Structure 1
Amino acid sequence: MKRQALLFSLVFYLGPVICQISYSIPEEMPSGSLVGNIAQDLGLDTKRLKSGRARVYTGDGVEYIELNGERGFLLIKERIDREAICRQTTPCALHFQIILENPMEFYSVTVEIIDINDNPPTFEKSEVTFKISESAVIGGKFVLDRAIDLDVGKNGLQKYELKPTDNFVLKGDSQGSGTEKAEMILQKPLDREKEESISLVLTAFDGGDPQMSGTIRIFITVLDANDNAPVFTQSTYTATVFENAPEGTVVTSVSASDADHGSNGRIKYSITNSLDQAHALFQINEESGEIKLIGNIDYENARNYHINIRASDDGGLTDSCKVIVEVVDINDNKPTINIMSKSNMISEHSKTNTVVAMMNVQDPDSNENGKVHCFINDNTHLSIKAASNNFYSLVTDSDLDRERASEYNITVTCSDEGVPSLSSKRAAIGPSMAAFVNAEKCTSPLDFHTGRQ
């Protein structure tokens, strides 16, 4: 197991200590495996971890990493599948915080998940059939189904191999999306009188060690006379669609032409297999080439889709193109306010800038829709300060006097910059947390009492 720890510079605020530390681990490590000695790397004594009730904070995420407070180790809590967490995104990382109290501190931790070669290239189908005229010209191309490999980098799909190569050879070229486009090229004329059918095997290989592969069988029926293949007007089409677009929305249309007449010039369109499962969200009219939305899309799940389109004539010749659909974000997510830690009681002798609570605010929308501003109600002798990206501290900003006010009810409001703006609140009465919902706001508690020492 290869593990690497990088300790970054400390950034101090008038509140909790902010420190960022990074580790790198391979995916699929068993539960209980060591990630790193967080106490040693942060320069903390294990006694401090115990007295500060150190814990891992992940917000609403799954807790894959746990803290052993007795030894100061970060350990694998649940086996990590990089493909399930990040799909094709690289680098892939888990982000969480180590929270301590008395005094309040938190440390940001990033654990990069390194891909291992645990997925072979696979084809959506086990076999595919072509009908090819015996008059097909030398150099004619036939687009093959693509293989999908969930791994990334060298562990992902690298090349194809076609056997036998008596009549056809393989031509591959990168489309820059991490997958390979494979085409059969006719290199020797077909003769239906000598051979009515041909069987081939296409094998896809990744670059892992050991190398993994997947296969698809290709059955070719030799027909009579089709001289021209379909040709798309563009190799790549682009379109945009709003994430709230209803089912049935027309996204775009593709078009191909065939110089042949009759059935050999009749074109049918189809969506071939796609890495991001676009065929489950989009449908193409096989006659007109019109592409419609048939599912619900969410910008927060996928910002674009690559749809592979095939045009086939009745003689078996084909051409392909790619449709890139960009998803347009709308402001459909309110800021989420998570209370990381809070004090229910504070001394009236506490100094200015004493931390009362720490919060994490998230808004998954993009650009202005995801930019958040937070403030609190007036006349509370407190103010809210941004500790770092998405993190805030609630601190005292003036002297407290128990005789004038023995407790405060604090409401935190966070609004994004979308149009219209969406906002959330957290509020409370009494020391315990509570939550309620109204028409446009989410609410729950922040409260503390002043006391003497």
Structure 2
Amino acid sequence: MQLEIIVDKPVQIHHVDVEIEDINDNFPIFSSSEFKLYISEMKLPGSYFPLEGAVDADVGTNSITNYELSVNDYFALDVQTYTQKSKSVQLVIKKQLDREQMPVYNLTLTASDGGKPKLSGTTQLLITVQDVNDNAPVFDQLFYIVSLSENALKGTVVTKLNATDLDEGGNSEIFYVFNKLVPEQITSVFNIEQNTGIIRVVGEVDFERKNMYEIEVDAVDKGHSAMTGHCKVLVNIVDVNDNPPELMVTSLNVPVSEDSLLGAVVAVISIHDKDAGLNGKVNCHISKNVPFKITSTLREYFSLVVDGPLDRDYISEYTIEITATDEGSPSFSVTKSIQVEISDVNDNNPTFFKSSDTISIIENNPPGSHLYTASAYDSDINQNSFITYSLIDSTTNGVPVSLYISVNPDNGKIFALVSFDHEQVTHFQCLIRATDAGLSPLSSILTLYIFIEDINDNAPALITQFFSSENTITEMVPKSATVGHLVTKIKAVDADSGYNAWLSYGFKDPAQRIPFGVGGHNGEITVLRPLMESDAKEHKLSIIVKDHGVPEMSTMVTLTILLLESGQELPVERLNRNRKEDEFSDTNTYLIISICLISTVFLITLIVYTVIRWHKYTEEINELKQHHFCPSIAGSWTYSQQRQYKFCLSGASPKNDLILFTPNYLQPSMDDAISNSGSMASDSAGKPKHPHPDWRYSASLRAAMQGAVHVEGAAILRGGPVGLEQQWPTVSSATPEPEGGEVSPPVGAGVNCNSWTFKYGPGNQKQPVPQIPPDFPENFIIPGSPAIISIRQDQPSNQGQKSNFITFGKKEETKKKKKKKKGSKNQEKGNNAVDNNDQ
């Protein structure tokens, strides 16, 4: 109980819970003092039956805690506790019950609580054991074997069954039924009477459908728990000859090729007779006078094979009658006809009705329009006569025909892929191939000539070059012009052909009175009558050029004629213009095009030649850069009197300064003499010769010279923008005085230095100075070079020897000092000196 207590001053509310404690003052009570139960004796041990439990008003431990059953051998209790207030009580069978031994059981069920003192309540359980039908009916025989002729009439008795039951009363009464496992096809043929057990025919009995029936029959008593007895009835059906043979062609290989070999199987025939014994034995034969025969293969199978030559040209199809007869009494037979087609080999080409054909197409046709249908036939059959059409690759004016038309491979219809233009293509031909589908396909070709018909879709076009964009022209005519004087000529062309290109010329307003007329076919504007002073000085004529097509197309020209006063001449440019207009023709156009083409070829050739020469020059420079000089080998610059020197300039522009030097190699005899003995060689006269002097130079000069020297027989060193002209070395400080043969540039030599001196002096005892021949020229010029080489001898020195100098200078400076005539003589002398092999 929940209470609320209110305290005044101050007001306070308190909640009070009063718990009533239970005491065991209530007995467990069942709803009834007796419960009746009916249990069949067939219940197995372990079967359980729910019981109604007792009720106790107390709670907790004072409620029901235990159930007990009086002592017995067949029943026990099973108590399940789910919650404190929920319990399940069940009665469980411990042993198999037998009504004949104990038909009724009286048991006491006690429910007790857990209080102190313990209280309990009881009830009575009256258990009645129900009797069951525990004796099944029994047939006289387990198997019944019966024979029944097929086609037996309905109602015919097949057999009568009998069964007995040891039970009494309702448990001994029996009725007969087919087992539930008996299929419907048996119950539709046979039926059994429930009370008598007689089996009768109620359907059609057919041996061919089923020659034996197995029937499961049950005998069931009428007891409360019915029991069943079982037996099986075997019904054998006796066959009679009531079915003709069944003939079926299971495999027919048609058509048969005319080149088939003897014995080739045409068809496999299956012959079956549902009857048995002689009634089911069948013989087979075919019609006569056919190149086929029947052979037996297996028990029920026969083969139709080729027994003679086949010729499709003679007979293309055979009708064969096959007859099958059984040996029954009376006998039955059946006949079947089959059609055997003879196939042809692919020996006929597809044939067009025409080997060639011509069609015309109006230009500006819509793309995809149908042009022609190629049709061919083949006398073969089946796939050998199935024709496909294709377009053979060809070109017209360099354009593949497949870009113009397409062919439907199935029906041979030819469609246009483009809209044709008569002005571009007037006609072309195509080849259509028809190919059959034989294993070795054959084909034939149709030549189709397609002409493009012209329509009037181009207006006349003016070709006179002096027309303005508005098709206007101005001409000047003196008033003294006579009748027939040609003012000008309107020239026009039409891209169409035929009547569509036939042009006519006329005035837009022919009623106008003017002294000029126009040629209807040539477009010439001439003077029709003498010009008078009253004629207007300016005449504006509208000339229409139109063709003869349908619909007619035209172009209008506006001609302005200015009349000049007497004695006034036409401007020169007007005369030249008219002359040029008459002289200009297509031939001039072709000439201009030819000149342009020739010029282009020449320009390309010149460019290619220049590139090749530059490439060759670059390779030569690279080879020279790879050549390494050393003081002992490359440092010896020798003026040889035994070799001819060839001065050559490469493709590069000439420079201001040239240095002449010999290659590194000597004659074999001279090399041996110098390298082995170091002594001086002798000439042909037996006099000793001076060895070649060693012109020594600094390493920086050698590096500069390597990049600018081109050696070919003899050698030329040219100063370039990045060579000798920019990298001249200073005076060598290796010795106090320059030794003989040392290269001595002037102090301060640089980019603009114009000369070098090679001194052959006596200071270097290792290098004797070669003597200069008396006839050697003082100055000479290298051909093709802007440089002049000067060679002179000084007076004898203290040692009694002369000093020789080779001076390189500019040709321009030399010309200033000497006269032009004298310079030319020196140049000739220089050339002679260079070409002299003895120098």
| Structure number with higher helix proportion | 2
Larger Rg: 2
Tell me the TM-score normalized by structure 2.
Answer: 0.24
User: TM-score, normalized by length of structure 1?
Assistant: 0.43
The structure where strand makes up a greater share of residues is: 1
Higher normalized contact order (CA 8 Å, seq sep 6+, divided by chain length): 1
